[in-house]
Each structure stands twice: as C-alpha cells, then as structure tokens.
C-alpha cells in the first residue's frame, strides 16, 4: 500500500463552471490529443475503434443531464468529470506497488506507468470513477493536470495550463492553486459559491465546481411584445422592391 | 402548406464536438456522439404514447423515415430534433457494417427535397435561401406517428452497403504517443 505525503500548501486543481459549460467536448478531445502524445505514458487506446461498440480511454468526460423542475422550464446541465486530485486520495493508499502517488510539492495525483501492474484497485477505490484502465496497455490512466504543460518552459507562458483549460471556448474551465486563498481560482470559488463533489466520501477533493446560476424567469407579461408590432407599411425604395421580389419566389 | 398536415418543426444540430476537434469523424468523436435518436418533446411524447425504445415514422411533404425516439423535456413542445451528421450509409467512413451509425443512425435529408413544390409556372425553384443558396433546413415541417411494433432494429430507409475506397479500418487505434 502507498502512503500519502503530508498535506501540501500548494493544491493545484481545476475550477469548472457548470453555468457556462455548453457540452461541446472540446476539453475531452484536446485532453485525449495532448495526453496521447505525452512522453509520460502510453497513448490512450481505442478498442473496436470503428466497430459496433467502440471503447476508448478518456481522462476527461462530459456527462449531460436534463433537469425538470417544479418551477421554471427544464434545463440541460453538462457535467465535465476528471480526477479531482483529492487530498485524501483513496486511489493512492490502495495502490500495492507505489505506482499511484500524490506529489508532495503541488498535490497532483499521478500514475507511474512503469510500475503499474494494472490491478485496477485504484479505479475501484475512486468514488468518482475518474480513472480508466487502458484497454491496450493494461495500465491505469488518469488526469495528470497536464503536468507536462504547466511547468513546461518550452511552451509560451499562456499555454502553460492544462489542455482542457486552454481549449475551452466558453471559458468554463479554470486552473490554479486552490491552496492559496488569494489565487484567482480561490476567489472565483468564494464569489460563486463553488462546491466540492460528494464531500461525504471524505476524500477532500481539490477541484471545485461552480453551480449553474438561476435562470431568468418569464415576466407576467411580455415587455417586448409591443415593440414587435409592425410599425410601417413596409420598406420603400430599392430595399422595398428587393423585399417584395424575394417574397414572391 | 396546411399546418394541420405537418404540425411539427424538425431541426438538426451538428454536434459541437465536431467543430472543436482536430480531426473529423474519427475513433474518438464516434464515442462521444455515436447514436442519434429523434429527440421528441414531452408534449409529443405523451400525445402519441411513446415509450422508451420505441420507433417513430416521421413524414414530411417529401418523404418518410423510420427512426428511434427519445424523450427530451428541455425542448419546444412542437419541435423534434436530432444530431446531424451521425447517420452513415453502410460501408461509408470505413465503419463496420454493424456500427450504430449505419444502423440506428439516420439523417433528415430524406425528408427534404432540393426543389420547392411545383407552382404551375413550369419552373421549379431551389429549396434554398434565395440570396445565399444555403439549404433551408429550418423550414422543415413534419408529422409523427408511432411505428407499428415488430419492425427491424435499424432506421429506414436502409440502403445496401457501398464499396469502401479505403482498406478496412484497424480494430485498435493508439493515436500518437510512443510506438510499440
């Protein structure tokens, strides 16, 4: 079994905004692209890739839910899920070889694939289902927080964030030090009442989620309707002619 | 067109994953969106007594398709929609003939004629925007009914496979990374 390091001051993690995530999967695809080419480990395989039941390894997935509510119209919520880099990571303590470990300096949870025996105990221990056994390599794969990007001095500085954060077109993913109360991510969590996922599991996840904002309610009457009434007989001049001509075909 | 005959609007949306990815129809994207039911509003679902696993016949002025349905409440009551570009003809894209895209997947294209109905002037006008020439997808009106039980487990129309211009696809893909 593998020991956890003493709690680190630095706690690197993600803050994911469930209000602005549109479920486009850009983070899913860019994560797989980056991590398949990483020298840190084997590529993320796809079995039966073009067949009846393809099954591949992903370090980050988006689950979409439809929520029907008592008051207000139903809403769709997209929920991206990856490793939460827990402070009390059960996936580490369960590992029989020391392959699964948590870094003392920044709290990132990683797998040393060279000594992973593919027993799968860590995936069983993780209450979030955030680890996936690679079907071809038979080693455990998980989010590395793009440790080979965030400290990578060969990349331009703005690119030294996880691939999922870099690629998100909605700005719904944020990366930073959640151990520092004054960091941008910590302030965002405080401001938006960010929450930890399933805290009752006692794993002390580092990542935080920002809840969807309340939706606008429909007013009792439509304030814009009077402005939608036709106000002219129609356009005149060239535009009027064009409109009438196009209307005929 | 009388609204009573075709009371519903049918829409498609191209999956966002296809816009944001490096590749196109590849081994990854088909795991994200590999099947496309016809999403039916709760109102239509209740009106027609649909149940999970049902199939529906969707009819427009131009044609008819038989497709799997799924309930979606976060949807305008008079609208049905599906993901575009998931359905594939068997043999296309080097997919296995058993691929869900080639069986349960479908397109709305069969419901849309490229020409507008005749207007008696001897001319046929393109069913497209008069200025841009873009296909007028959002004009599609349809009606829906529950498909009779006992039909095949694939969408219709169902065409014979086409010959693939490329060799059969590999079983396991290990994109990038260290070669083994």
Number of domains in chain A: 1
Which chain A residue shows the shortest CA-CA distance from B123? A249
Domain ranges across chain B: 8-146
A36 to each of A15, A59, B16, B180, how far by Cα in Å?
23, 10, 22, 13
Q: What is the ipTM of this complex?
A: 0.88
**Those residues with Cβ within 8 angstroms of residue A158's Cβ, 6 or more apart along the chain or in another chain:** none
Q: Considering CB atoms only, which of B28, B34, B96 is closest to A29?
A: B28
Domain membership flag for residue A124: yes
- Residues A149-197: pLDDT tens digits? 999 999 999 999 999 999 999 999 999 999 999 999 999 999 999 999 9
Contact B20 A167 (CB under 8 A): yes
Which architecture does CATH list for B8-146? Beta Barrel (2.40)
Let me know if residue A235 belongs to a domain.
no
Query: CA of B172: which chain A residue's CA is closest?
Result: A47
* Per-residue confidence (pLDDT) for residue B134, from 0 to 100: 77
Instruction: Say how far residue B74 (Cα) sits from the centre of its chain.
Output: 19
Residues in A closer than 8 angstroms to B46, CB to CB, are none
Query: Whole domain around residue A104: which residue ranges?
Result: 12-210
Classify residue A49: in a domain, yes or no. Answer: yes
**Stretch (H or E) spanning A148:** helix A147-150
Please tell me the distance from the alpha carbon of residue A44 to that of residue A117, in angstroms, as a whole number: 17
A226 within some domain: no
- Assigned domain for A119 exists: yes
| Nearest alpha carbon to residue A173 among A34, A40, A62 | A62
B34 vs A contacts (CB less than 8 Å):
54
Residues in Cβ contact with B37 at an 8 Å cutoff, skipping those fewer than 6 apart: B67, B68, B69, B70, B82, B104
Residue B118 confidence (pLDDT)? 87
CATH code (residue A152): 3.30.70.20
Residues of chain B with pLDDT under 70: 1-2, 20-25, 136-137, 177-180
């Amino acid at each position: 079994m593998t020991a956890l390091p003493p709690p680190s001051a630095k706690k690197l993690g993600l803050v994911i905004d469930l209000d602005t995530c549109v479920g486009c999967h850009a983070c899913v695809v860019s994560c797989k692209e980056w991590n398949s080419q990483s020298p840190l480990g084997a590529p993320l395989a796809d079995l039966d890739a073009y067949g009846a039941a393809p099954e591949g390894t992903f370090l980050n997935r988006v689950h979409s839910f439809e929520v029907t509510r008592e008051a207000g119209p139903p809403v769709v919520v997209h929920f991206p899920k990856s490793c939460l880099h827990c402070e009390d990571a059960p996936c580490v303590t369960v590992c029989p070889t020391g392959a699964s470990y948590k870094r003392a300096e920044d709290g990132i949870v990683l797998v040393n694939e060279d000594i992973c025996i593919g027993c799968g105990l860590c995936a069983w221990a993780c209450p979030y289902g955030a680890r996936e056994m690679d079907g071809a390599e038979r080693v455990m794969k998980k989010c590395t927080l793009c440790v080979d990007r965030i400290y990578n001095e060969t990349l331009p500085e703005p690119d030294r964030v996880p691939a999922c954060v870099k690629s998100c077109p909605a700005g719904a993913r944020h990366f930073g030090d959640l151990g520092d109360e004054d960091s941008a991510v910590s302030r965002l969590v405080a401001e938006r009442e960010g929450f930890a996922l399933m805290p009752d599991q006692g794993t002390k996840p580092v990542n935080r989620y920002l809840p969807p904002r309340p939706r606008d309610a429909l007013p009792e009457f439509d304030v814009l309707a009077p402005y939608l009434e036709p106000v002219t007989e129609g356009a005149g001049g060239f535009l009027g002619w064009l409109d009438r001509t196009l209307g005929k075909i | 067109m009388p609204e009573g005959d075709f009371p519903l609007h049918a829409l498609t949306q191209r999956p966002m994953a296809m816009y944001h990815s490096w590749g196109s129809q590849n081994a990854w994207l088909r795991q994200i969106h590999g099947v496309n039911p016809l999403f039916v509003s709760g109102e239509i679902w209740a009106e027609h007594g649909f149940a999970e696993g049902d199939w529906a016949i969707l009819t427009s002025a131009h044609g008819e398709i038989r497709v799997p349905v799924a309930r979606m409440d976060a949807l305008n009551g008079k609208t049905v929609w599906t993901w575009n570009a998931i359905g594939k003809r068997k043999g296309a894209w080097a997919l296995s003939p058993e691929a869900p895209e080639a069986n349960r997947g479908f397109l709305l294209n069969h419901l849309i004629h490229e020409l507008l109905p005749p207007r008696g002037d001897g001319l046929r006008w393109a069913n497209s925007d008069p200025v841009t020439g873009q296909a007028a997808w959002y004009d599609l009106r349809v009606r829906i009914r529950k498909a009779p039980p006992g039909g095949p487990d694939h969408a219709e129309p169902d065409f014979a496979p086409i010959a693939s211009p490329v060799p059969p696809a590999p079983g396991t893909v290990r994109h990038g990374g260290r070669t083994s």
